[in-house]
Every structure is written in C-alpha cells, then in structure tokens.
C-alpha cells in the first residue's frame, strides 16, 4: 500500500468513527505544537468515539495530542510528531448540576467560563481563576494542573475535582471517583489525571464540588521597600487570624504587566519633555478578603497604614484578572520571554525570588514575578533585553543556573520559551518525586506511548 | 509461618519485635470491622530500613505482607491471612519535625492522629483531619484510608493535607513522592498514594499540612421533633451560602444511649439533633452562627442551643465521637456502614434505611456527617445469632445499593478493604477496575503487599495472567546488623 493510500485509509477509518464532517486532514493554519503540524484533526462527539480513535491510533502507532481551548499547547517538549489532533470541543455539555448538592458534572471540552456562568445563576462558583478561562476547557485545565491566585485560599483543582472519566490509550472508557463530595472507593484517579498533561489518557468528563460564591470581596495592596519586609509581612499574615482568599507577592517589575498593554509608540516621535516615571522599586503583598462589612472592617483595622491602595467592584475584578493573566500579558508584549513556574515550600519563596533576581541579568533578561505567597506557586517572567537579547542557548543556561540556585525539593517548570531553545534543555526539570514510578505509571496506562509522545516528563 | 522467615524477621527487627505465638497473634486477627483472620506473624520495624528489609525478604520468599497502624480501621484493611506477615508500624511513632513557618509537620506513620494536634496546638496550629477514632488511629493508617472526620466538611480529607511521603515499595526500594512544597513537577504520586489502602507501598514518613487554629469557634446543637426536619435543615444550611466546619446528625433514640454512656447533655426526647460547628474569624463566626440558628428555626427546630464554654463544646463532641462505643452498651454487635449520597437525598435515604431495618427486623442507628452526605447507619444485631448476622450483611448491602442508585458511593472514609471489595463492581465497571488493577500492578506487581484487598478477586486473576509491565527496580544497599 502506498503512503498516500495508507493516509487516506486512516482518514476513512477516523471518519468511520467520528463522522466525515468531524475529520480533516492537517489542521487549521494556526494550529501547530511547537512547530509541529498535526496530520489529521478529529473532533469526537462522545467518549465511545474517543475510544474508537485511540484504538485505531494504538493499532497503527499513531501519536495523539489532545486539545481543548489551545491555550497551553506550547507548554512542554517538542513532540516527536503529532498524527492525530484530538479536539474535545464537542464534549462540551453540562451533564448534571445540582445546586442543592453543590456538585456539577461536565464534558471535558466545555469552556471553564461557561461552566462558571451556570454556577453563577445560583450564587455558586468553583473558586478557581487560572488565566484564559473563557477559552480554556475543563479537560485542559485539569490536564495541566492550572491554577490562579485563588489557590492561596481555596486550594487547586485537585481539591475540587471529585470524579473523572477518561479513555485509556488502548480505548477503555474508565472512571475514578464519583458524584459525591466524599468518596474513597478505589484509587484516586483524579489525582493521577490532574497534571498528567494528556500523557496517561484522554479526559472526557469531570465532576466538581462547588461552593457558595462570596457576596462581596475587597482587595488591599500593601507596599514594601524590600523583599525581606514583604516576606516578613507575609509571615505575619500567615500567623494572624485573618483568612484572605488571595495572598499574592509581586516584584517591583510585575505591575508593568498588571494593566492593559501600552499603546504602541510611534518610533519617530521625539518628545523629550514627556515625563517619565522613575521605575518602582516597591514589592507588593496583595490580600483579597471576602465577607460582610464587619469582616472587611476588621481587615482594614488590622492592616492599618500598611495598605497603600484598596480596591473594590469593577476595579478589583479587573486587577485580579490581570494577576491571573500575568504570564500571558508578558508573552503578549514579549513573545520571546522565558516564563517559569516555580513551586517551593512557603519559606523558600524568598530564596526562589532571590535566585530569579540574581540569574536574570546574567543572561540579559529582566525579571518580573508574582505568585501565591501562602502556597509557594510563583509565576516568573524573564523578559529579554531589547538590546542584546539572549541567544537560544542562553535560555537553557539561564534555566539551569536558576534551577541550580533553588533549594532542594523545589520544581521549576519552563512554561514558555522560544521553541528554538527547547532542543537545548529539559523544560520540565527535576522533580522531588520518584521519576521511576512515574514512568511505571505511564507504562501501565500507555505502554505504546501514543499519547503526547515527547511532550511530558514521562 | 516458615521458621526461616521468622528467624530472618527477628534478625531484621530484633527478637522482641516479632510475634508468632498463637496467644499473641490473637490480638492481631481483627480490626474495628467485622472480618477476622489470624496472621502468620507480626513484625514491628523501628525504622524505614527495617521496613525495607522486611519487604525485601517478603518479596524474595513470596510471603504476603499486610501493613497495620492502630487497627481501628472499619473495612478489614489490616486483616491478614495465616500465610501473611502483619507489618505493624506502631513503633514508628515519632513526630520527626514540626515546621511552623512552612505550616508542615513530618511524622512517622505510627504517630497517633490526635497527638500531632496536641503537639502543635501550643504553637497555634493543628492537623485538620479528625476521624472519630483520632485518639487511637495513626496518621499512617489515615493515609492508607484517606480518612475523613467531622471537620473535613470545610477543610477536606487526608489527601488535602498530605504533601509528601517517603514510601517503601513492595520490593523494598525506598522512594519519595512530593515533599514540603504544595506542588511539584510531574505526576501527583503523593495524591495518588493516599487512599490506596496499603496496596501500593508502605508510607514510612509523612509530610502533612498544619492548619492555623481558628480564632473563634461556635458549636450549636439544634434539636428536632422529626428526622425529616433535621434532614431538611442540612439542605437548607448548605444552600444558605454557609459552609460549616462540621455538620453532624444523630438520631433520637441513639441520644439516649450516648447520654447513658457519657452524659454529653443531649436531649432525651427528641427525634434527631444536628451538631453544627462554625469556625474562623470571630466576626464571621458570629454572623454565620446567627444565620444557621435562623435556618434551623425556619425548618421547625424545637430549640437551638449554643455551647457556652469550651468544656460544653468538648462534651457535645465527646458524645458524637463516642457514639459507636455507646452502642456497645445496648447491642452485642453492630455493623457500621459508610455510604455516601448527594446531600439533597438525605431525607429519602433515611426513610429507605428505616424501611430496610423493618424488613429484616434489625435496629439501625443513624449517626453521620450530614454536611457531606456521608452516612454511618449502624446495624445492631446479636453476633451469636447466625441468622441475624447474615441478615445484617444483607441489610447493609441493600443500603449500599440504595446509596449507589442515588448517585452515591459505597465508602466515604472507611475504605473498601476486605469488607466492601465485592461491592466494587456495583460502583465500577470491568474497565474501571482493570485500569485500577494495572496501576496497582505498576507498584505491586506480585500482590505481595496487602493482597486481596480493595480490588475484587475475579479481576485480579484475569489481569495477573496478562503480561505485566514491571517497574525498574533499583537495588537497596545491604545493611549491616
């Protein structure tokens, strides 16, 4: 059989599973994964169709990449190849929502914001504010273990997801957990799926516990002349009776990305008289509190004159959406920025931030950082200098130098860098967990490595 | 038990750390559940290396090993056959580190749950998951079962409070999953391990989150004339936008048994009570306490009392936490269930449980975590009567089937173990169970560790005959005695 004939045979088989109109050769112009274009795109309409596609892929050794809202496809290593791009867009239904039970079940392809909108009708929510929620899908957010500033107060998806249905590489439809908020029957497969980057199975459905939505919130921005003072304040908050729902720390350069992008300046404009604000050197700790007027009054009293700015209403919402969107604000302005997610223990946040501030200038980057001060999840942007930008190899060297300075037990995942740099180093880095057992899990779930080959740590 | 194995066990753990005489083994033939079996030997390792060497020995000699904490489990997870070694972690009971700035503690698996909270309370922190057996149960056992407790309604169960584990794998290799950081790169093996019921490995060091003690606590006792009103109140409170720290329900006639046992101050003439606890900043607690009181009164509560002192509060909780013990005074045997249902189905489910009780002529007491729909119907029976014993199991199965038909689960916090293994196919499909089996085999390919638990037998045989992927084993360095 000629290659051409084999190609059309695969397309026919995909069409026989998902229907003609849901299979196409190649992918739309915009879709590529670190420069690799998928050979076929298919949008199954059910878990059974996902199973059919994966069985076909396994038989023919085709590599499958799962895609939701295309907000994080560039994260990870360069795929060896992508034969089938499996889009979850049609698995986008609310399967059940019981406001009285505070649970919801949805298809993996539903946009998170759409689900959140349904919950809002009943004054409920999932306290989750990762970036790009109007585009990102539930399946993609789970697969990438996404998080936002609310993680400080409420925890992450692993704390909300109570059930998951997925399809294994050999086409078995399986589930873990269930529809109730407390359940220990069988292995906790939700934990395994969350953060597995599509490397173990294709997530098709998920159930969540939901929460009453706070009636009002207020945000208090506190400024400090040094990192040490900001961290000391953070520590005093952790010991105080206050229970903020967000507790962020932001470096002096971060506020530049917590606003709408500046209007592009006419390069020919010459305006020496225009005032230039001196660069800020302040570190910020930002608290968001929820509760009655009484509760918010208590915050105001206890924080006292440490508060430099108080935000409420639309301005507050806007501020937190910028915080969520931070890494994307950097990338929208500097498409060659290096973005690193650093996970550390609470007391190692200082060491990690110092490591960033120290390493960045050595490789011609400007550091900008913010993150969850109470849980140690830091989003670090390294912005290339406009003059003398770093070479591809320097991204790798910078990441290595940064990792070398981190305390033991930390993780530093390169979320974004130019794809030319990815060949020079491991974007995932080391892990305090057992890599051998991760590989054993991968082997158990996807022995032929058809799922996201070459993209994840296993 | 093979005498050469016994000799080697004594060599590893010391002669005073191995039990093999029948009169000693009798104490290890049961846990707090209903199943019984006498193990071949019990070994008490004192450190991680000894656990590793025991597992390596077991791996070489193909002797099954069953890990055991305090034996308070309710699903037979620590029950071992006569060919098996019980590996008791009770001598590995040291708190290794209390790290307040990082809000973590590192403990050995044999540390008793409440002891950790007692040790950290003077520093303003505690360990949040609080099973009713917390005075006796160990954190290692809590990790195995992913234990809950009354206060997990707002704060989550064990898995939400474990960030790192040192684990000895079934072949003796010592490894680590996660650490003090909340998140780390790669698969969440620590999260996956919690609740694996001793079938994947033995946790020898556990890093847990410590939670700041709340500034203020309000404990309310709402008294109702009908069970239905109490059940409706649970739904009303969860819908009112308040998440209590705990929301417990106890049925009326059970209160008399509790009062007789511990004098907790419960009313003797009510149909049901709700024990509701709110905690947090004092301003928030006061507002919520008032809102909860109103919600109760709107659902026809006869009275809502509030504990006026810490002593009164402790007494109310003592009654709840010793409820199972109090039953012991009125029935020679009881069988504790652990079904879960969606919260709005509580009224219907209680009616169904009453019907099942009548059908088998068995008294069933309901004491449960109402806030998250986790029921603990206690089926009372005379253990000397084989007919009643058999009936109690049939009634339990009917209750579980009903919970499942409501979209629920067969276990909310006690685990599957031996007891509910055969109910697993009611909840999970063949494919679900096969995926779980594959994962178990990735860690525990020969089923040396806690065999015949959690995953039903039929599936086990089928999968074991298929070619299995084996984890790459790194040699463990030899230790000198």
Class of domain B331-427: alpha beta
Residue A234 belongs to a domain: yes
Cβ contact A230:A289 at 8 Å:
no
Mean of per-residue pLDDT scores for chain A: 94
Query: What was the pLDDT predicted at A2?
Result: 54
Question: Is the same domain home to A23 and A88?
Answer: yes
State yes or no: pLDDT of A267 exceeds 70: no
What does CATH list as the number for B214-329? 3.30.70.2190
φ, ψ (nearest 5 deg) of residue A230: -65, -45
pLDDT of residue B476: 35
pTM score of the predicted model? 0.94
Whether the pLDDT of residue A98 is over 50: the answer is: yes
- Contact flag B411-A183 (C-beta cutoff 8 Å): yes
A34-43, A119-128, A268-277, B396-405: range with lowest mean pLDDT: A268-277
B428 in contact with A, Cβ within 8 Å: yes
A249 and A190, same domain (yes or no): no
Does CATH place domain B95-212 in 3.10.105.10? no
Q: Which two tokens stand for residue B283?
A: 């301003």
pLDDT band at A274 (very low <50, low <70, confident <90, very high): low
How many structural domains compose chain A? 2
With residue B220 as reference, give the H or E element that holds it. Answer: strand B216-224
Kindly tell me if the per-residue pLDDT of A348 is higher than 50. yes
One domain, residues A125 and A26: yes
Q: Which pLDDT value is given to residue B466?
A: 34
Beta-carbon separation of A238 and B410 below 8 A: no
**Any domain includes A324:** yes
A395-449 pLDDT tens trace:
999 999 999 999 999 999 999 999 999 999 999 999 999 999 999 999 999 999 9
Domain membership of residue A272 (yes or no) is no
Whether residue A395 lies inside any domain: the answer is yes
CA distance linking residue A92 with residue A110, whole number of Å: 4
Q: Of B73, B186, B345, B426, which to mutate for an interface test with A (greatest number of A Cβ within 10 Å)?
A: B186
Residues A165, A231, single domain; the answer is no
The reply to whether B341 touches chain A by the CB within 8 Å rule is yes
Identify the pLDDT of residue B33: 84
Report the SS3 class of residue B276: strand
- If asked whether residues A453 and A412 sit together in one domain, one would say no
B102: nearest CA partner in chain A: A346
Q: Supply the pLDDT for residue B459.
A: 45
Q: Search chain A and give the residue with CA nearest B434.
A: A174
Q: Are A253 and A190 part of one and the same domain? A: no
Tell me the CA distances in angstroms from A424 to A35, A457, B244, one per residue in order.
16, 15, 52
Q: Are residues A151 and A23 in the same domain?
A: yes
Domain ranges of chain B: 3-88, 95-212, 214-329, 331-427
> B3-88 sits in which CATH class?
alpha beta
Residue A268 domain flag: no
Interior angle at CA B432, CA A136 and CA B469, nearest 5: 95
Mean pLDDT of the A277-290 span: 91
**Does residue A68 contact residue A136 with C-beta atoms inside 8 Å?**
yes
Residues A130 and A225 in one domain: no
Is A178 in the same domain as A256?
Answer: no
Q: Token pair for residue B292? A: 């909860």
- SS3 state of residue B227: helix
Which of A97, A159, A183, A291 best tests the B interface by mutation, with the highest count of B CBs <10 A? A183
Q: How confident is the model at residue A29 (pLDDT cuts 50, 70, 90)?
A: low
Q: CB of A454 within 8 A of CB of A77? A: yes
B56 contact A CB<8A: no
Q: A61: domain range?
A: 1-214+433-458
Q: Residue A74: inside a domain, yes or no?
A: yes
A452 and A380 belong to one structural domain: no
The CATH number assigned to the domain holding A380 equals 3.40.462.40
**What does the alpha-carbon distance between residue B133 and residue B137 come to, in Å, rounded to a whole number?**
6
Residue pLDDT, tens place only, A331-342 = 999 999 999 999
Residue A269 covered by a domain: no
CATH of the domain at A117: 3.30.465.10
Does A3 lie in the same domain as A115? yes
- Topology alike, domains B3-88 and B331-427: no
CB B187 within 8 A of CB A144: no
Same domain, A78 and A207: yes
Which ipTM did the prediction report? Answer: 0.96
Is the confidence at residue A188, as pLDDT, over 80? yes
B171-192 core/surface letters (b: 16 or more CB in 10 A; e: else)? bbbbbbbbbbbbbbbbbbbbbb
Pick out chain B residues at pLDDT < 70.
457-481
Model confidence over B32-59: pLDDT tens digits?
Answer: 887 889 999 999 999 999 999 999 999 9
Residues of chain B with C-beta less than 8 angstroms from the C-beta of A75: none
Residue-level pLDDT at A276: 65
């Amino acid at each position: 059989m000629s290659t051409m004939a084999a190609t059309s045979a695969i397309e026919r088989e995909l069409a026989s599973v998902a229907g003609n109109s849901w299979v196409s050769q190649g992918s739309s112009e915009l879709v590529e994964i670190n420069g690799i274009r998928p050979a076929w795109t298919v949008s199954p309409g059910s878990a059974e169709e996902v199973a059919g596609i994966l069985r076909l892929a396994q038989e023919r050794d085709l590599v499958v990449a799962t895609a939701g809202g295309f907000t994080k496809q560039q994260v990870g290593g360069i795929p060896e190849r992508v034969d089938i791009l499996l889009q979850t867009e049609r698995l986008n239904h609310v399967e059940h929502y019981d406001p009285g039970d505070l649970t919801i079940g949805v298809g993996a392809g539903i946009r998170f914001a759409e689900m959140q909108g349904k919950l809002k009708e009943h004054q409920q929510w999932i306290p989750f504010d990762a970036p790009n929620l109007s585009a990102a899908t539930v399946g993609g957010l789970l697969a990438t273990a996404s998080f936002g500033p609310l993680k400080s107060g409420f925890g992450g998806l692993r704390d909300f997801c109570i059930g998951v249905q997925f399809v294994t590489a050999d086409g078995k439809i399986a589930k873990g957990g269930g529809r109730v908020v407390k359940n220990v029957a069988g292995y906790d497969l939700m934990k395994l799926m969350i953060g597995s980057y599509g490397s173990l199975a294709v997530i098709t459905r998920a159930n969540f516990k939901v929460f009453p939505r706070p009636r009002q919130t207020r945000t208090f921005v506190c400024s400090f002349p040094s990192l040490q003072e900001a961290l000391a304040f953070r520590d005093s908050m952790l010991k105080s009776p206050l229970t903020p729902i967000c507790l962020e720390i932001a470096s002096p350069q971060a506020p530049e990305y917590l606003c709408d992008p500046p209007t592009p300046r006419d390069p020919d404009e010459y305006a020496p008289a225009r005032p230039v604000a001196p660069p800020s050197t302040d570190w910020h700790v930002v608290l968001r509190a929820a509760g009655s007027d009484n509760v918010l009054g208590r915050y105001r009293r206890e924080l006292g004159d440490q508060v430099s700015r108080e935000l409420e209403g639309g301005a507050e919402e806007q501020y937190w959406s910028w915080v969520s969107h931070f890494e994307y604000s950097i990338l929208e302005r500097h498409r060659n920025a290096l973005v690193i997610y650093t996970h550390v223990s609470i007391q190692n946040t200082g060491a990690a931030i110092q490591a960033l501030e120290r390493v960045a200038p050595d490789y011609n980057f400007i550091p900008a950082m913010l993150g969850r001060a109470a849980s140690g999840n830091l989003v670090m942007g390294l912005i290339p200098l406009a003059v003398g930008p770093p070479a591809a190899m320097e991204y790798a060297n910078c990441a290595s130098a940064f990792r070398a300075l981190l305390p033991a037990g930390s993780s530093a995942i390169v979320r974004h860098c130019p794809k030319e740099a990815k060949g020079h180093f491991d974007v995932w880095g080391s892990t305090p967990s057992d890599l051998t057992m991760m590989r054993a899990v991968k082997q158990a779930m996807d022995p032929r490595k058809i799922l996201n080959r070459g993209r994840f740590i296993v | 038990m093979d005498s050469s194995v016994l000799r080697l066990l004594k060599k590893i753990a010391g002669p005073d750390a191995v039990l093999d005489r029948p009169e000693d083994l009798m104490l290890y033939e049961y846990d707090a559940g209903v199943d019984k079996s006498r193990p071949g030997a019990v070994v008490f390792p004192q450190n991680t290396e000894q656990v590793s060497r025991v597992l390596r020995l077991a791996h070489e000699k193909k002797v099954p090993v069953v890990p055991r904490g305090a034996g308070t489990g309710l699903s037979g997870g620590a029950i071992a056959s006569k060919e098996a070694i019980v590996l008791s972690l009770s001598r590995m009971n040291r708190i290794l580190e209390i790290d307040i700035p990082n809000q973590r503690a590192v403990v050995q698996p044999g540390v008793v749950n409440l002891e950790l909270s007692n040790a950290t309370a003077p520093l303003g922190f505690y360990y949040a998951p609080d099973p009713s057996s917390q005075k006796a149960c160990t954190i290692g056992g809590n990790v195995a079962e992913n234990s809950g407790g009354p206060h997990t309604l707002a704060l989550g169960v064990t898995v939400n409070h474990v960030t790192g584990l040192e684990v000895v794998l079934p072949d003796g290799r010592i490894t680590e999953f996660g650490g003090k950081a909340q998140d780390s790169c790669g698969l969440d093996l620590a999260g996956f391990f919690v609740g694996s019921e001793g079938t994947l490995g033995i946790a020898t060091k556990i890093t847990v989150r410590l939670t700041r003690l709340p500034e203020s606590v309000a404990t309310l006792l709402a008294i109702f004339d009908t069970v239905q009103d109490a059940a409706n109140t649970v739904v009303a409170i969860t819908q009112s936008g308040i998440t209590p720290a705990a929301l417990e329900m106890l049925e009326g006639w059970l209160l008399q048994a509790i009062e007789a046992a511990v004098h907790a101050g419960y009313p003797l003439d009510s149909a049901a009570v709700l024990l509701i606890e709110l905690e947090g900043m004092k301003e928030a607690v006061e507002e919520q306490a008032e809102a909860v009181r109103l919600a109760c009164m709107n659902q026809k509560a006869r009275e809502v009392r509030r504990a006026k002192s810490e002593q009164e509060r402790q007494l109310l909780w003592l009654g709840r936490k010793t409820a199972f013990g109090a039953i012991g005074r009125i029935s020679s045997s009881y069988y504790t269930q652990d079904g879960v249902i969606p919260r709005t189905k509580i009224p219907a489910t209680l009616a169904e449980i009453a019907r099942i009780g009548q059908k088998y002529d068995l008294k069933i007491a309901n004491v449960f975590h109402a806030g998250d729909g986790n029921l603990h119907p206690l089926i009372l029976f005379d253990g000397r009567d084989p007919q009643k014993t058999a009936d109690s199991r049939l009634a339990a199965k009917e209750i579980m089937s009903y919970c499942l038909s409501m979209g629920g689960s067969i276990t909310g916090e006690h685990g599957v173990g031996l007891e509910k293994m055969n109910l697993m196919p009611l909840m999970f499909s063949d494919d679900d169970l096969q995926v779980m089996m594959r994962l178990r085999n990735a860690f525990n390919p020969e089923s040396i560790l806690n065999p015949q638990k959690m995953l039903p037998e039929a599936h086990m045989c089928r999968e074991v005959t298929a070619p299995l992927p084996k984890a790459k084993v790194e040699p463990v360095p030899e230790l000198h005695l």
